[in-house]
Structure 1
Amino acid sequence: MIQPATTKLSSKGQVVIPEEIRNRLGLEPGAQFVVVGEGDVVVLKALKAPNLSQFKDLLDQARTSAEAAGITPDDVTEAIREVRAEK
């Protein structure tokens, strides 16, 4: 069983992730996280960019879903135009 580690919150709101955990998870300086808090629980989820193959798979899934929903490239262009006009 993996042993839990403890850490402290600094006066600047920073939390140090213990070295053993950073190493085990392959976390490097500059790693980004999604942070969710509820009650007394805080969850950090590391964000990792997909590799090129995973990105292509995601793009293919998005295209398939868009086609199934009847969304055309022109629909996407128009939606982008409308959002930009709102700014």
Structure 2
Amino acid sequence: MYEIMTASEEADVTVVSSKGQIVIPQSIRKKLGIGPKTKLLIYGYNDAVIMKKLDVPDVLKDLERIYRNVDEKARKLGILSDEDVSDIVQESRRKRRSGRQS
């Protein structure tokens, strides 16, 4: 759901640098969990600039987890079939969608 700024919250003012950069105030970064490398969707609407935090999955971490799972299963069972590897990938995708990553 959308949060509406309350009367007790104060608006902050920031300045656009010569490179077109802005600083998002620390209080907002903390409230929204915005840190270094956080991806933001940004677009203009009438006279406003709207930014939304994106939760983009870390593909490299996903691949490393899949490789670990494949290696672990191969140590237990020996050579894996294409179907075995496909099953591991599908299981990893299901866990990522449900938020249960191993």
TM-score class, shorter-chain normalisation, is 0.5 to 0.7
Aligned length: 56
SS of aligned partner of 2:42: strand
Q: Cα RMSD (Å) of the superposition?
A: 2.3
For residues 25-74 of structure 1, the C-alpha deviation after alignment (integer angstroms, 9 at most, x for no partner) is: 11111111111102210000010136x756248xxxxxxxxxxxxxxxxx
Which of 47, 53, 76 is equivalent to 2:54?
A: 47
- 4+ aligned runs moved over 4 Å, structure 1: none
In the superposition, the TM-score normalised over structure 1's length comes to 0.54
Measure, in 2, the Cα distance between the counterparts of 1:55 and 1:49.
12
Measure, in 1, the Cα distance between the counterparts of 2:96 and 2:48.
31
In the superposition, the TM-score normalised over structure 2's length comes to 0.47
Q: Does 1:19 align with 2:26?
A: yes
Q: Which residue is 1:2 aligned to?
A: 9
Is the radius of gyration larger for structure 1 or structure 2? 2
Letter in 1 for 2:25: P
Letter in 2 for 1:55: R
Listed as ranges, the gaps of 5+ residues in structure 1 are 58-87
Summarize the alignment of residues 57-72 of structure 1 with structure 2, pairs less than 5 Å apart: none
Listed as ranges, the gaps of 5+ residues in structure 2 are 1-7, 58-93
SS of aligned partner of 1:8: coil
Letter in 2 for 1:48: D
Which of 31, 35, 39 is equivalent to 2:38?
A: 31
Percent identity of paired positions between Structure 1 and Structure 2: 36
